[in-house]
Structure 1
């Protein structure tokens, strides 16, 4: 498994150019957030195009506690053309208190980007996540697939918030995704 140096460098550039760990104007992170319920693996269902995930499928994000009170973030994805798994490990911290789903995340030194949960299922089964601006958007789910109705409702919500949903990339997931080395 290789590291994602382009991911770290892109996030560093994003944090320098994108206002660090802010929230997109006109949006509101989820309140009443319970981090312990958010821990675990999430599958990337769709994303806006970005350089650090270009060509990756079978993308997952794993969240777990850090000893310093932050969140350990491990992102994995398959570069099918190369037949290689890539991984990047980062750390995240709340920016507006632990009950508001607004965090800053870093994969590279002191540089942080925004991680804002804008919509979240009551059972923590899906989420709509944005960066610090409208250039970054992800639809995540606990399972490799998300039902069409829920997916479309999240796309519609993102469009109402001003995201370029016509550019969303549906991420290949599920049975087409082999298990990464070291995963169980």
Structure 2
């Protein structure tokens, strides 16, 4: 388990370093401050499918991904990232973390440690009133995630969530959809997993 967590931590560090070389964000709101939204933690817990993200090494080549969050007795959050690497015919694998709520953020900022070397803070930037759709991102906008309770999200809803990200100052041209069904692989706008080595 420690090897998996450490490997993911190293991957995250590499991904963050790679983001530093990303092209400049053309969004005119790119330098505006991001403010996390208020989250009702018990209502927010459960499974959230990753519908789209800014691709990075830690989630690269995964399909059918989702995050399972569970509130612990000490107020921290069990965080499981689950998916199939390289295709839907591959086994389910995952990584497990403990998230800590940043004090005085109305449960909207989560500190995630991937190893003792690598921690980051994710901001909940949007959640709809029915807790069916959410957007997370890093404060520098280098990474972002569109998530939903259901793996099937219409093109119209995805476009609407991208518009939310644009209003928040993200470069939406960097977002790609994550295949949640085999027939989505290779379609325009979707990530295409590589092949096992």
TM interval, short-chain normalised: 0.7 to 0.9
Q: What does residue range 25-174 of structure 1 map to in structure 2 within 5 Å? A: 25-31=32-38, 33-80=39-86, 83-97=90-104, 99-109=106-116, 111-174=118-181
| Kept in 2: contact 1:7–1:53 (CA 8 A) | no
User: Following the alignment from structure 1 to structure 2, what is the Cα–Cα distance between the partners of residues 4 and 171?
Assistant: 22
Q: 1:21 aligns to what?
A: none
Cα offset, 1:139, TM superposition: 0.2
The answer for unaligned runs of 5 or more in structure 2 is 20-30, 185-197
User: Following the alignment from structure 1 to structure 2, what is the Cα–Cα distance between the partners of residues 8 and 97?
Assistant: 26
Cα offset, 1:147, TM superposition: 2.5
Q: 1:10 aligns to what?
A: 11
Larger Rg: 2
| Kept in 2: contact 1:3–1:86 (CA 8 A) | no
CA deviations over 1:153-181 (Å, ceiling 9, x no partner): 1101212222121121111114779xxxx
Secondary structure at 2:43's aligned position in 1?
helix
Residues 13, 80 of structure 1: alpha-carbon distance in 2 compared, 3 angstrom cutoff: closer
User: Following the alignment from structure 1 to structure 2, what is the Cα–Cα distance between the partners of residues 25 and 96?
Assistant: 22
| Kept in 1: contact 2:54–2:176 (CA 8 A) | yes
Cα offset, 1:16, TM superposition: 9.3
| Kept in 2: contact 1:115–1:129 (CA 8 A) | yes
User: Following the alignment from structure 1 to structure 2, what is the Cα–Cα distance between the partners of residues 132 and 16?
Assistant: 15
CA deviations over 1:23-56 (Å, ceiling 9, x no partner): x85211112x200011100000000011111111
Cα offset, 1:90, TM superposition: 0.5
User: Following the alignment from structure 1 to structure 2, what is the Cα–Cα distance between the partners of residues 134 and 15?
Assistant: 11
Residues 100, 5 of structure 1: alpha-carbon distance in 2 compared, 3 angstrom cutoff: closer
User: Following the alignment from structure 2 to structure 1, what is the Cα–Cα distance between the partners of residues 83 and 164?
Assistant: 26
Structure 1 stretches of at least 4 aligned residues deviating more than 6 Å after TM superposition: 14-18
